[in-house]
């Protein structure tokens, strides 16, 4: 096997090989403290081994390492290699997840009071970024895929109208692909936005692997976006919280990005996470397309099997179910559902877990499975066995009448371009709020963000008028087990509204 070139990891191993005596933080001293106080066991056994092992390279800013907030040595080199690998002009390694990249981009683009055009169904970290920036957002309603009912991105026409209507907008922010691996080719959006001389930013958290193989969709970087945030940990090989922010062109101020990132990331960033980003990139550089061959093949074989067996569980990205030229589907993401409408996605999720197959997330209808590069034939066999069991034993015992209510996601009224919503902190904090039953909340202004999780897309923003449609969506999601992070009533039978 060829060696890989991973400068951060190599710097950490080199430091370790010098038999250093630690009189610095962290206090575990390369894991010695854990090994001393907890009996270590061998890998594969339960014990405390996984942590004491990683701690060997869990160091701080030393003259032998580097400083993420002011990189000059191995981190600077790792960022240069990452930019080359992902097709960007400059790449920032992130230790605070895509969250930190999204927040930093909002802070970079927007001063208080500035306005930005934002896809409505963005990840909550972008809304948090708007709040911290004190910006206002013009939201563009997403399009809904007619076949699946899932939200994608706004239309090109909508974006053009918004760009015309708001010439002072500081840029455009999209979140795509969605959690279900549905992607809209972005090049026309980028070109349109650049025609108005504004930056086009993409939260591509679920697409870190895009453009890495001809069978995978095109990444936003190759579509020309000015800045792209990717969760390297989600679909590539980094540790959780390891992400990257890629920048290209001249519309983004690199020094400003670095400054904003230092506002929202730890001043003691994790070297193991940085090293895992570095190694993830290094493996791609060495393996290239080959890294994805097996997973793509196994996913394709699985889909064929699913269709040939005519199970009641199918994949919306199945081979015959859907071909839509407007959308790209991530072949490494399976979106399973019960075509008879008897099993909810949440229920199907639980049934898969019973057999030791752990999906990524589920909603009223769908369960999402991520197929990652180290997937094996045995893994797919266990998934097939589980689906056969569910098909044969669970589904057979259900009523023949569909029991799953699928939210009817209507296209937005009018042109889908909202009035600007001010996201400065404190906008409603001083207002008096009252708790009312959800079913009686129509027409009120919500005093809380209502965010079913996953996928973490807000149904209501604080200060937003509550519609009947929103009430129905919330009720349905709550009834099938979605979690509402930070809700005043975790069961969402009531809601906090602004008392006027």
Query: Which residues ranging from 332 to 371 are in contact with its own copies (CB under 8 A)?
Result: 334, 350, 352-353, 356-361, 369-371
Does the footprint of its own copies cover residue 37 (CB under 8 A)?
yes
- Please compute, for residue 109, the number of CA atoms within 13 A of its CA located in the half-sphere on the CB side: 30
Does the footprint of its own copies cover residue 54 (CB under 8 A)?
yes
**Contact yes or no for 129/107 (Cβ under 8 A):** yes
Residues 132 and 426: their CA atoms lie apart, in Å, by 11
Site for its own copies, residues 261 to 280, rule: CB under 8 A = 262-273, 275-276, 279
Does the footprint of its own copies cover residue 118 (CB under 8 A)?
no
**Contact yes or no for 345/406 (Cβ under 8 A):** no
| Shortest Cβ 445–its own copies spacing (Å) | 18
Q: Phi-psi region for residue 179, left (φ > 0), alpha (ψ -120 to 50) or beta?
A: alpha
Does residue 173 sit in helix, strand or coil? Answer: strand
Residues that bind its own copies (rule: CB under 8 A) add up to a total of 126
Helix intervals (H) in 25-179 = 32-37, 49-54, 74-86, 97-109, 124-133, 156-165
Kindly tell me which residue out of 50, 188, 411, 465 binds its own copies, with binding defined by CB under 8 A: 50
Kindly tell me which residue out of 287, 415, 469, 489 binds its own copies, with binding defined by CB under 8 A: 287
Q: Is 461 exposed, middle or buried (0-12, 13-18, 19+ CB in 10 A)?
A: buried
Is the CB of 59 or the CB of 343 nearer to its own copies?
A: 59
Does the footprint of its own copies cover residue 87 (CB under 8 A)?
no
Which region among 127-135, 149-157, 337-345, 439-447 touches its own copies (by CB under 8 A)? 127-135
Structure tokens belonging to residue 197: 């001389």
Does the footprint of its own copies cover residue 91 (CB under 8 A)?
no
Kindly tell me which residue out of 77, 88, 117, 124 binds its own copies, with binding defined by CB under 8 A: 124
Kindly tell me which residue out of 406, 415, 424, 469 binds its own copies, with binding defined by CB under 8 A: 424
Which region among 147-155, 169-177, 183-191, 229-237 touches its own copies (by CB under 8 A)? 229-237
Is the CB of 153 or the CB of 496 nearer to its own copies?
A: 496
Which region among 136-144, 215-223, 226-234, 472-480 touches its own copies (by CB under 8 A)? 226-234
Is the CB of 158 or the CB of 232 nearer to its own copies?
A: 232
Does the footprint of its own copies cover residue 27 (CB under 8 A)?
yes
Structure tokens belonging to residue 425: 């902190």
| CA-wise closest residue to 423 among 96, 102, 101, 111 | 111
| CA-based R_g, the chain, Å | 24
Site for its own copies, residues 430 to 459, rule: CB under 8 A = 430, 453, 456
| Shortest Cβ 191–its own copies spacing (Å) | 29
Does the footprint of its own copies cover residue 285 (CB under 8 A)?
no
Does the footprint of its own copies cover residue 33 (CB under 8 A)?
yes
Does the footprint of its own copies cover residue 55 (CB under 8 A)?
yes
Does residue 214 sit in helix, strand or coil? Answer: coil
| CA-wise closest residue to 278 among 59, 72, 95 | 95
Residues 29 and 365: their CA atoms lie apart, in Å, by 48
Does the footprint of its own copies cover residue 283 (CB under 8 A)?
yes
Which region among 91-99, 183-191, 404-412, 468-476 touches its own copies (by CB under 8 A)? 91-99
Does the footprint of its own copies cover residue 39 (CB under 8 A)?
yes
Does the footprint of its own copies cover residue 418 (CB under 8 A)?
no
Kindly tell me which residue out of 209, 213, 281, 476 binds its own copies, with binding defined by CB under 8 A: 209
Site for its own copies, residues 466 to 485, rule: CB under 8 A = 483, 485
Burial 48-78 (b: 16+ CB within 10 A, else e): ebeebebbbbbbebeeebbebeebeebbebb
**Contact yes or no for 451/490 (Cβ under 8 A):** no
Helix intervals (H) in 171-212 = 187-195
Is the CB of 194 or the CB of 286 nearer to its own copies?
A: 286
């Amino acid at each position: 096997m060829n060696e890989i070139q991973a400068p951060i990891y190599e710097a950490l191993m080199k430091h370790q090989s010098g038999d250093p005596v630690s009189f610095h933080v962290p206090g575990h001293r390369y894991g010695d403290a854990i090994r001393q106080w907890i009996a270590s066991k061998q890998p594969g056994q339960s014990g405390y081994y996984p942590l004491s092992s990683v701690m060997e390279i869990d160091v701080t800013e030393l003259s032998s390492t580097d400083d993420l907030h002011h990189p000059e040595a191995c981190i600077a080199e790792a960022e240069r290699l990452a930019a080359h690998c992902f097709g960007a002009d400059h790449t920032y390694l992130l230790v605070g997840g895509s969250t930190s990249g999204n927040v930093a981009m909002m802070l970079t683009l927007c001063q208080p009071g500035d306005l930005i055009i934002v896809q409505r169904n963005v990840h909550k970290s972008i809304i948090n970024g708007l709040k911290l920036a004190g910006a206002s957002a013009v939201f563009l309603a997403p399009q809904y895929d007619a076949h699946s009912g899932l939200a994608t991105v706004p239309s090109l026409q909508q974006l053009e109208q918004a760009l015309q209507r708001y010439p002072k907008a500081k840029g455009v922010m999209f979140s795509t692909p969605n959690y279900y691996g549905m992607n809209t080719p972005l090049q026309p959006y980028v070109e349109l936005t650049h025609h108005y001389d504004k930056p086009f930013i993409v939260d591509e958290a679920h697409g870190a692997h895009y453009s890495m193989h001809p069978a995978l969709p095109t990444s936003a970087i190759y579509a020309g976006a000015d800045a792209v945030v990717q969760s390297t940990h989600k679909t590539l090989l980094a540790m959780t919280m390891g992400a990257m922010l890629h920048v290209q062109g001249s519309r983004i101020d690199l020094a400003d990005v670095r400054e904003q990132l230092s506002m929202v990331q730890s001043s003691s960033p994790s070297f193991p996470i940085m090293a895992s980003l570095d190694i993830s990139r290094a493996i791609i550089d060495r393996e290239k397309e080959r890294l994805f061959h097996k997973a793509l093949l196994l996913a394709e074989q699985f889909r064929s099997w699913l269709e040939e067996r005519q199970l009641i569980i199918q994949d919306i990205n199945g081979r015959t179910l859907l071909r839509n030229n407007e959308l790209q589907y991530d072949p490494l993401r399976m979106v399973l559902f019960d075509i008879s409408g008897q099993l909810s996605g949440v229920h199907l999720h639980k049934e898969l877990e019973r057999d030791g197959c752990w999906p990524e997330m589920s909603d009223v209808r769908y369960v999402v499975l991520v197929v990652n590069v180290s997937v094996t034939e045995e893994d797919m066999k266990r998934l097939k066995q589980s689906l056969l069991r569910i098909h044969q034993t669970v589904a057979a015992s259900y009523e023949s009448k569909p029991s799953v209510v699928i939210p009817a996601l209507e296209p937005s009224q009018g042109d889908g371009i909202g009035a600007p919503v001010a996201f400065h902190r404190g906008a409603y904090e001083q207002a008096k709020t009252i708790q009312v039953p959800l079913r009686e909340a129509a027409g009120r202004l919500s005093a809380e963000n209502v965010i079913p999780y996953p996928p973490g897309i807000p149904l209501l923003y604080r200060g937003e008028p509550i519609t009947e449609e929103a009430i129905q969506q919330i009720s349905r999601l709550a009834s099938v087990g979605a979690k509402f992070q930070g809700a005043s009533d975790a069961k969402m039978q009531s809601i906090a509204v602004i008392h006027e």
